[in-house]
Structure 1
Amino acid sequence: MKIGICDDILSEREVLKECCLSLGYKSIFLYESGEALLESSDIKTLDALLLDIEMDKINGIKVKELLEKADTFTYIIFITNHCEYMPQAFGKNVISFLQKPVTIHEIECCLNKAAYLKKDYFLIAIDDKISIRCKDILYLCVEQKYTICYSLDGNSFSTRKPLYEFEKELADLGFCMVHRSYIINLKYVQKIKKHDIILSTGQTFPVSRRYYQHVTESFHSYTISRLTCQ
Structure 2
Amino acid sequence: MKIAVCDDSREDRGALRALLEACGYDFEIREYGSGAELYADMGYVRECGIVFLDINMEGMDGLEAARKIKAECPKVHIVLVTAYVNYALDGYKVKASRFLLKDDLEQTLPECVDDILREERVVEFGFVEGSVRLRVDDIIYIETSKHKNVFYTAGQTYSIYKKMDELEEELAGMGFVRIHQSFLINMRYIGKLSSYVMILTTGKEISVPKSRYPEVKRQYTLFKGAE
Pick aligned residue for 1:111 from 107, 110, 113? 113
Q: Describe how 1:35-184 pairs up with structure 2 within 5 A.
A: 35-40=36-41, 42-71=44-73, 73-90=75-92, 94-119=96-121, 125=127, 128=129, 133-134=134-135, 135-141=137-143, 151=153, 163-164=164-165, 166-168=167-169, 170-171=171-172, 174-184=175-185
Q: State the Cα distance separating 1:21 from its structure 2 match.
A: 1.5
Deviation at 1:146, TM superposition (A): 8.0
Residue 23 of structure 1: SS of its match in structure 2? coil
Does residue 29 of structure 1 match 2:30? yes
- Is contact 1:81-1:99 (8 Å) kept? yes
Question: CA shift at 1:212, angstroms?
Answer: 3.8
In terms of fraction of residues, the more strand-rich structure is: 2
Please tell me whether the aligned partners of residues 50 and 78 of structure 1 are also in contact (alpha carbons under 8 angstroms).
yes
What's the secondary structure of 1:3's corresponding residue?
A: strand
**Residue equivalent to 1:17:** 17
User: Counterpart of 2:140 in 1: which secondary structure?
Assistant: strand
Q: Secondary structure at the match of 1:57?
A: coil
Q: Secondary structure at the match of 2:20?
A: helix
Give structure 2 stretches of 5+ with no counterpart: none
Distance 1:151 1:43 in 2: 22
Instruction: Give the SS at the match of 2:177.
Output: strand
Aligned 8 A contact 2:179 2:212 in 1: no
Counterpart contact for 1:141–1:182, Cα < 8 Å: yes
Tell me the distance in 1 between the aligned counterparts of 2:94 and 2:207: 34
CA contact (8 A) 1:77 1:95 kept: yes
Deviation at 1:58, TM superposition (A): 1.1
CA separation of 1:223 and 1:6: change in aligned 2, threshold 3 A:
farther
**Per-residue Cα deviation, 1:149-202 (whole angstroms, up to 9, x for no partner):** 65558x999999753354355447543324444312133357999x99886679
* TM-score, L = length of structure 1: 0.66
Whole-angstrom distance in 2 between the partners of 1:114 and 1:85: 21
> Counterpart of 1:18 in structure 2: which amino acid?
A
> Can you give the 5+ residue segments of structure 1 that lack an aligned partner in the other structure?
none
Post-superposition Cα deviations, 1:66-119, rounded to whole Å, max 9, x if no partner, equal: 112333643111112333322322367621112232243421222223334443
Which moved further from structure 2: 12-21 or 102-111?
Answer: 102-111
Closer, same or farther: CA 211–10 of 1 in aligned 2, 3 Å:
farther
Deviations 1:103-139 (A, max 9, x none): 43421222223334443686784x659x895534323
- Paired with 2:87 and 2:169, the residues of 1 have a C-alpha distance of 44
State the one-letter code of the partner of 2:70. Answer: E
Q: CA RMSD in A?
A: 4.5
1 CA distance for matches of 2:49 and 2:112? 12
Number of equivalent positions: 221
